[in-house]
Amino acid sequence: MLRRAYRWQRRVASLTALGYFAVFLTLTVKAPWLMTRPGPGGLPTGLVLALVQIPVTWLAVLLYEATAYRLVDPLARRARQSYPAPVHRKGGR
């Protein structure tokens, strides 16, 4: 269950950042007319979308932290409490 929650957490964060970047790259290749069109403040739309990548990446980091706090950490705590701590012996064997 912990492994599944951690996998889901990684997928959400990765798809948020990489998904946006893939859309940006696809638009750059398939719709250059859209990317060179003037956008807000006279900046090219492509530059505006490239600058938006920074907040999207931060959003992915925040999503990762939020899901870790809400879903993964409680499961990890429960798993840690249900198993006894390993005993380490000096001497190496």
CB of 8 closer than 8 Å to CB of 48: no
Confidence category of residue 70, pLDDT binned at 50, 70, 90: confident
pLDDT of 59 above 90: no
41-45, 57-61, 83-87: least confidently modelled range: 83-87
Highest mean pLDDT among 5-9, 16-20, 50-54, 78-82: 50-54
Q: Is residue 88 part of a domain?
A: no
| Nearest by Cα to 49 from 60, 59, 35 | 35
Q: Is residue 17 part of a domain?
A: yes
Q: Is residue 92 part of a domain?
A: no
What pLDDT, on the 0 to 100 scale, is given for residue 91?
62
- Domain span holding position 17: 2-80
Q: Per the structure, how many domains does the chain have?
A: 1
Q: Is residue 90 part of a domain?
A: no
The pTM of this model reads 0.61
Q: Is residue 85 part of a domain?
A: no
User: What is the residue whose two structure tokens read 């269950």?
Assistant: 1
What pLDDT, on the 0 to 100 scale, is given for residue 93?
56
